[in-house]
Amino acid sequence: METLLDVTLPVFLVIGFGYLAVLLKLFPDSGVDGLMKFTQGFAIPCLLFRAISTLDLGQTFQWPLLLSFYTGATCGFFAGLFGARFLFGRPWPDAVAIGFCCLFSNSVLLGLPITERAYGAAALNANYAIVAIHAPFCYAVGITAMEIVRHGGAGIFRTIVAVANAMFRNSLMIGIAAGFAVNLTGTALPGVLTDAVDLMVRAALPAALFGLGGVLVRYRPEGDLVTVLFVCGVGLILHPAITWTLGQSFGLAQAPFRSAVVTAAMAPGVNAYVFANMYGVGKRVAATTVLFATALSVLTVSVWLSLLG
């Protein structure tokens, strides 16, 4: 266990440094917004661009990998949805927001650095395949479900088109799309350009983890503890367990199998709160879950890594 904590603790310590720096007012809260804008708007898109532009797409985008991960994610969504509704008596819109918390694991800010520390940079190819369709898939599921429960399905098409337009203006999606364009066309980029992009890449994850810690200061623990723990259980245990079972059944190779399970085991990302805030429902559960699950994942991720070997 000590060796496993050596893998995971540095990641969470950087998050903790960011949390304490903002909590103790050593780093301004306004600075967190700028830092996250830099990482999510520039540095991480560069990371995704460089990774996808050099991937062997035929080897990386394997249907057993994606089916294992996204079946687990979808099952987590429905577990959260129906659990919130029938176990905790939440209104349907709240239940959808809670289901989204179970669906959206933090595949980039936690999944990438933990996989890299555990298995090396060469193990990240499968992570990038998951990340490439993660946001579109999760938002499509969440928005469709929310429109059904709120309006009986009326206006789903208009809503999805609007969100799709927003996604394609999103920096992460632009980085992913540009990476695919370079990869598929076989474009050779000038060395001076790739060197500049690589400088941005090296800043991406450490700065993003520090910024994530600062963001978490805003999500103070507030009530609904049983519901929050239920969501943590679904996200940290059920999702990776289903992904593990399916990955074994499909005979996934060791590297993509590890990436799928580790990514599935990540705590819900800040997007869980963004989605709840977008609709004005389930915000307290979403915010508290992001904080609690990130803290709990220090232990749960270590357990999954020990099982993966």
Q: Tell me the mean pLDDT in the region 171-184.
A: 89
CB 40 within 8 A of CB 171: yes
What domain range includes position 227? 2-308
- Long-range CB pairs of 27-35 (<8 Å, 24+ gap) are 27/214, 29/214, 29/217, 29/218, 31/214, 32/211, 32/214, 32/215, 35/207, 35/210, 35/211, 35/214
Encode pLDDT of 243-284 as tens digits: 999 999 999 999 999 999 999 999 998 888 878 877 889 888
Q: Tell me the mean pLDDT in the region 144-148.
A: 84
Encode pLDDT of 82-105 as tens digits: 999 999 999 999 999 999 999 999
Encode pLDDT of 149-175 as tens digits: 877 655 667 666 766 665 677 787 889
> Is the predicted pLDDT of residue 9 greater than 60, yes or no?
yes
Q: Residue 54, CB half-sphere, CA atoms under 13 Å: how many?
A: 12
Q: CATH number, domain at 197? A: 1.20.1530.20
Residue 164 has a pLDDT of: 67
Number of domains within the chain: 1
Residue 114's pLDDT band (cuts 50, 70, 90):
very high
Q: Specify the pTM.
A: 0.84
Residue 4 has a pLDDT of: 61
Encode pLDDT of 33-64 as tens digits: 899 889 888 998 999 999 999 888 887 889 99
